Amino acid sequence: MARFRIVGGTKLRGCVQISGAKNEALKLIPLTILLNNEVKIINLPRISDVLSQLKILKSIGAEFNFKGHILSINCSNVNTAKVPDGVAERLRASIVLVGPLLARFGYADIPLPGGCLIGPRPIDTHTDSFEQLGAEYGVKNNRLKVRLEKPIGNKVKLKEQSVTATENILMYAAGVEHDILIENCAIEPEIIGLIQAINDCGGSIQKISKRSFRVKGSKKMSKAEIEVMPDRIEAGSFAIAFLATGGEGEISLVRENDLEIFFDLLEQINANFEIRNGNLKIHKSDNLKPFKIKTAPFPGFPTDLQSPISLLAARAKGRSFITEAMYENRLSHIIELKKMGLKAEIVDKQNVKIDGPCRLRSTEIESPDLRSGITLLIASLMAEGETIINNVEVIDRGYEKIEEKFKTLGAKIVRE
Ligand code: EPZ
């Protein structure tokens, strides 16, 4: 297991370019199962979850080559809906293979998905939505089998505004010649990006209301090139890194609408920043104010920025309150940060109070999951002295060349 050795106390300075969005890329790859030709996906981030998703596609017959940030992939030779064990169980996003496989073969047989240990990660919203169209499914030996030769009915109402469940049923509906109205959808920017990609491929997904879409499926979708949007969570992570270390800098490829509530919070806590034509400038901000946030489906505060934002609570003067309403176990970074001196009280599984300002001190810590990993990396940059972060592979799941990016901003960080 690799680890980072970090000497903290540096104020980050400079410019960083954001990579393609992990949580869009991991769905565009399975989408190609519905296309009848070779397609290029550009601005694809070279992160381990993308490499895992590609390994899964290869195991069912997809052919591709991935050079730099350009993937050329052709799924015309995909000849089975049975995904072998070995990779999919490590990845939450493998669950969205069901929709495209079901649309193409009437059948899907995949290992139950894995993913960060931040909660039970149920798939009942997924199976329930396919059942509403007449699907039969079963779970046995840690594998999920779904059968749906021909959809019955024309409406699905999601039990929960689940991101991957929305994407799963949208991709299914896009690939079968049938009209389906899907209600109570999640509407994260990555989902809107997937919808735009499907429509660019000749699909027909029409917005009916804020959270409902009418899909007229087609078997003739094809497309030459799809571009991955910039990763809003990476952009937010770097904005927090500049502010948390008392530095200043510029983050390029940031789409303002993707992070509206995040920018509202920065304004509220007195952070100095400006965003113009896709560039986010963070200026030195020395008297940050405490805040109160509760995570929620988009356009609410993104749960994926809940861990890193706690570092701004450490710099603010006063008591902040953070509620993680989406997951049951996504406060583990607080335990590690307390080892570094964070003054915090975990009230219960979903609530934490943080008193600032407090100086973090270096120590040896573990990064339990992707977003707590980036939080601990930034905390190590804030702390005086040398910090060791173990099992940093979890950070590589969602952040490309993370130590290089931080080094260009002046961080003293070495991967061992
Ligand atoms: C996706 O996971 C993302 N993963 C997650 O990002 C992200 O945290 C999550 O959406 C929420 O935005 C990918 O896209 C691969 P869910 P998903 O089904 O689809 C609860 C990262 O770090 N919930 O939306 O598995 C639900 O019960 C990863 O990049 C509500 O409470 O997430 C579950 O506990 C981690 N109310 C949790 O949210 C709702 O209305 C996530 O559910 C909807 C969901």
- pLDDT value, residue 1: 87
For the chain, give the longest Cα–Cα distance.
63
For the CA of 120, the closest atom of ligand 1 is 34
Could you tell me the distance, in angstroms and rounded to a whole number, from the CA of residue 290 to the centre of ligand 1?
26
What parts of the chain have a pLDDT lower than 70? 116
**pLDDT tens digits along 100-137:** 999 999 999 999 998 767 777 789 999 999 999 999 99
* Predicted confidence (pLDDT) per residue in 215-231, tens digit: 999 999 999 899 999 99
Query: Is there an atom of ligand 1 within 6 Å of 165 CB?
Result: yes
Share of the chain above pLDDT 70, in %: 100
Looking at residue 184, what is its pLDDT?
98
Q: Is the CB of 230 under 6 A from ligand 1?
A: no
User: Which atom of ligand 1 approaches the CA of 371 most closely?
Assistant: 22
| Cα-based distances in Å from 352 to 102, 270, 334, 346 | 42, 22, 8, 4
pLDDT of residue 90: 87
Any ligand 1 atom below 6 A from CB of 26? yes
If you take atom 41 of ligand 1, which residue's CA is the nearest one?
Answer: 326
DSSP string over 363-382? -EEE--SHHHHHHHHHHHHH
Dist. CA 255–CA 20, nearest whole Å: 12
Nearest-CA residue for atom 14 of ligand 1: 23
Ligand 1 centroid distance, CA of 188 (Å): 10
Q: Is the peptide bond before 302 cis (omega within 30 degrees of 0)?
A: no
Q: What's the gap in Å between 280 CA and the centre of ligand 1?
A: 26
User: 160 CB under 6 A from ligand 1?
Assistant: yes
Cα–Cα distance for residue pair 249/380, rounded to 1 Å = 19
Which atom from ligand 1 is nearest to the alpha carbon of 22? Answer: 29
**Alpha carbon nearest to ligand 1 atom 21, residue:** 304
pLDDT value, residue 366: 84
pLDDT at residue 153, as a whole number:
94
Q: Which of 15, 75, 116, 201 is catalytic?
A: 116
Counting from 1 in the atom list of ligand 1, the atom nearest the Cα of 325 is 31
pLDDT per position as a tens digit, 65-85: 999 999 999 999 999 999 999
- What strands lie across the sheet with 318-323, from one edge to the other? 292-294, 318-323, 351-356, 343-348
Between the CA of 306 and the centroid of ligand 1 the distance, in Å, is 13
Phi first, then psi, for residue 301 (nearest 5°) are -70, 125
The reported pLDDT for the residue numbered 235 is: 98
pLDDT of residue 354: 98
**Ligand 1 pocket check for 23: Cβ under 6 Å:** yes
Q: Which atom in ligand 1 lies closest to the alpha carbon of residue 118?
A: 35
* CB-based burial label for 404 (10 Å; 0-12, 13-18, 19+): exposed
- Decide: 187 in ligand 1 pocket, CB within 6 A: no
116 catalytic per annotation: yes
Ligand 1 in reach of 116 Cβ (< 6 A): yes
0.85 cut: is pTM over it?
yes
**Would you say the CB of residue 50 lies under 6 angstroms from ligand 1?**
no
What's the rounded Cα separation, in Å, for the pair 327 and 30?
Answer: 25
Q: What is the pLDDT of residue 387?
A: 95
